[in-house]
Amino acid sequence: MPVDVLIGLQWGDEGKGKIVDVLAPTYDVVARFQGGPNAGHTLTFDGLKHVLHQVPSGIFHPHIINVVGNGVVLDPVVFRQELQKLTDRGVEWRKNLHVSKKAQLILPSHRALDRLNEEARGNTKIGSTLKGIGPTYTDKVSRVGLRVGHLLLPDFETRYQETVARHHQQAAFYASQQVLAPEAAEAAWHEEVTAKEADFFSAVEFLRTLQLTDTEYLLNDLLAQGKRVLAEGAQGSLLDIDFGTYPYVTSSSTIAAGACTGLGIAPRHLAKVYGITKAYCTRVGGGPFPTELLDETGEQIRQAGREFGSTTGRPRRCGWIDLPALRYAIMLNGVTELHLMKADVLDSFAEIQVCTHYRLSDGTLTLQLPDPGDLAHVVPVLQTLPGWHTDLTQLTEYNTLPANLLAYLGFLERELQVPIRIVSVGPDRVSTIVLS
Ligand code: IMP
């Protein structure tokens, strides 16, 4: 049986959680393969909005096994809060949730280092969510990280203290280099680490009561039994550590291939790749964004789309859809079908613009994404299409979609050479139009 992968094609916040929720009934397993509490997957149904950060988005379906894979970085404190919220809402999650023993633990000192790293970058801040993602993946790759499985060892606390001592040395380095005032470094350290330690250890105690599993065996056993797996990506392809707009990226492999290493599934199991994109484009944090609109139109998209971060509350940068960037993401992921989100946000626009090419600084046109440094200097070449001026939120059937929206979809399909299978016209599960 196959593993299908669902990934974001832009800079995250495409609406992946909603689509996982919509597709979930046809799967037996939903598995997160990378990222951590930097993600915010929003699901809306039965009049309630749920925001998940680390828990896979299949958790609301009692028949689904949810897996937090080895590629994830897990903050026990945030995880416990999320699960407590689910309990408060009557969701039975305990039997259906497995956490990989190989997932990495985010410690309070990782969060503190994240903040210090950002402060030290001065004018070139990444715009990190400050959840400790970068420092935790750094420790993983440096082979000094703490894994979930380490919680089960008798010397966990000693390992913890050694790790924190190492992090403190790194913090002291910033102070010694006068990158930061010593008091600022020390204050941030105290706030993030010492004051949060008791909470961390009580969350660790809670984590020990969950199903901590060799999830690569679990997933491969389930596949052998003929179960269907949906791998749920977080962030977006343009935030990928290798192919994103480096260094303004996150620290994990956000593309479909990341599902193999982040879950322990062989590439031959992969089948469909669902590519999720908004009908326009957003990004949070720093870094190049060729189609960004710094004018009233951008503000209009932000307000209509409620484009404020679900993890940090930050206003998102908004712009027109970017086809060179989408083509790149489609190529990297091997996307087999597209899902177009938030089409209703453009309902009131008389005209909609689409970036078809970039003009480079030497005047040449390109369909390709240049190096991140050059991407900051390209000029988007825009094509204008007529708006549809229809309240899409009231529509549920493909054959009721307005002609100008169908023309927009047809244009995107021709340019991107991938079929659009779903158009989302509102946050609720029911506001989802499936194109045959
Ligand atoms: P980090 O992953 O917290 O280190 O943040 C690195 C960059 O990725 C920043 O620009 C963040 O705003 C962005 N980012 C991280 N997670 C998400 C997400 O889930 N949605 C959108 N942007 C994200």
Structural tokens at position 130: 């400050």
Query: Could you tell me the distance, in angstroms and rounded to a whole number, from the CA of residue 127 to the centre of ligand 1?
Result: 7
Query: Could you tell me the distance, in angstroms and rounded to a whole number, from the CA of residue 311 to the centre of ligand 1?
Result: 9
Least Cα distance to 250 among 37, 14, 29 occurs for 37
Amino acid at 340: L
- Distance between CA 69 and CA 18 in Å, rounded? 20
Query: Could you tell me the distance, in angstroms and rounded to a whole number, from the CA of residue 283 to the centre of ligand 1?
Result: 9
Helix/strand/coil for 318: strand
Smallest CA separation from ligand 1 atom 11, residue: 128
Smallest CA separation from ligand 1 atom 1, residue: 128
Query: Could you tell me the distance, in angstroms and rounded to a whole number, from the CA of residue 249 to the centre of ligand 1?
Result: 7
Per-residue pLDDT of the chain (436 residues; tens, 9 = 90+): 799 999 999 999 999 999 999 999 999 999 999 999 999 898 888 888 999 999 999 999 999 999 999 999 999 999 999 999 999 999 999 999 999 999 999 999 999 999 989 988 989 999 999 999 999 999 999 999 999 999 999 999 999 999 999 999 988 887 777 666 777 777 778 878 888 999 999 999 999 999 999 999 999 999 999 999 999 999 999 999 999 999 999 999 999 999 999 999 999 999 999 999 999 999 999 999 999 999 999 999 999 999 998 777 889 999 999 999 999 999 999 999 999 999 999 999 999 999 999 999 999 999 999 998 899 999 999 999 999 999 999 998 888 999 999 999 999 999 999 999 999 999 898 999 999 7
Residue to probe by mutation, ligand 1, list 235, 278, 283, most atoms within 8 Å of CB: 235
Contact present, 73 and 114 (Cβ < 8 Å): no
Contact present, 6 and 230 (Cβ < 8 Å): yes
Q: From the CB of 96, is ligand 1 less than 6 Å away? A: no
pLDDT of the residue at 316? 95
Residue to probe by mutation, ligand 1, list 239, 246, 308, most atoms within 8 Å of CB: 239
Which residues are known to be catalytic?
A: 13, 41
What does the angle CA 79 – CA 80 – CA 81 come to, to the nearest 5 degrees?
90
Residue to probe by mutation, ligand 1, list 140, 284, 317, most atoms within 8 Å of CB: 284
Smallest CA separation from ligand 1 atom 8, residue: 250
Smallest CA separation from ligand 1 atom 19, residue: 39
Contact present, 32 and 234 (Cβ < 8 Å): yes
Q: From the CB of 285, is ligand 1 less than 6 Å away? A: yes
Q: From the CB of 250, is ligand 1 less than 6 Å away? A: yes
- Distance between CA 366 and CA 399 in Å, rounded? 36
Structural tokens at position 371: 């190096």
Alpha helices in 269-428 (DSSP H): 296-304, 323-333, 372-375, 403-416
Strands 104-105 and 65-68: unpaired
- Distance between CA 251 and CA 133 in Å, rounded? 7
pLDDT of the residue at 193? 87
Q: From the CB of 233, is ligand 1 less than 6 Å away? A: no
Sequence-distant (≥ 6) Cβ neighbours of residue 259 within 8 angstroms: 3, 5, 31, 33, 231, 233, 265, 270
Least Cα distance to 9 among 426, 327, 359 occurs for 327
Least Cα distance to 41 among 75, 87, 7 occurs for 7
Query: Could you tell me the distance, in angstroms and rounded to a whole number, from the CA of residue 236 to the centre of ligand 1?
Result: 9
Q: From the CB of 235, is ligand 1 less than 6 Å away? A: yes
Q: From the CB of 126, is ligand 1 less than 6 Å away? A: yes
Query: Could you tell me the distance, in angstroms and rounded to a whole number, from the CA of residue 234 to the centre of ligand 1?
Result: 10
Determine the atom of ligand 1 nearest the C-alpha atom of 234: 19
Query: Could you tell me the distance, in angstroms and rounded to a whole number, from the CA of residue 312 to the centre of ligand 1?
Result: 10
- Chain centroid to Cα 406, Å, comes to 28
Q: From the CB of 34, is ligand 1 less than 6 Å away? A: no
- Distance between CA 140 and CA 158 in Å, rounded? 18
Contact present, 322 and 368 (Cβ < 8 Å): no
- Distance between CA 258 and CA 174 in Å, rounded? 33
Q: From the CB of 54, is ligand 1 less than 6 Å away? A: no
Query: Could you tell me the distance, in angstroms and rounded to a whole number, from the CA of residue 40 to the centre of ligand 1?
Result: 10
Helix/strand/coil for 49: strand
Q: From the CB of 18, is ligand 1 less than 6 Å away? A: no
pTM of the entire structure?
A: 0.95
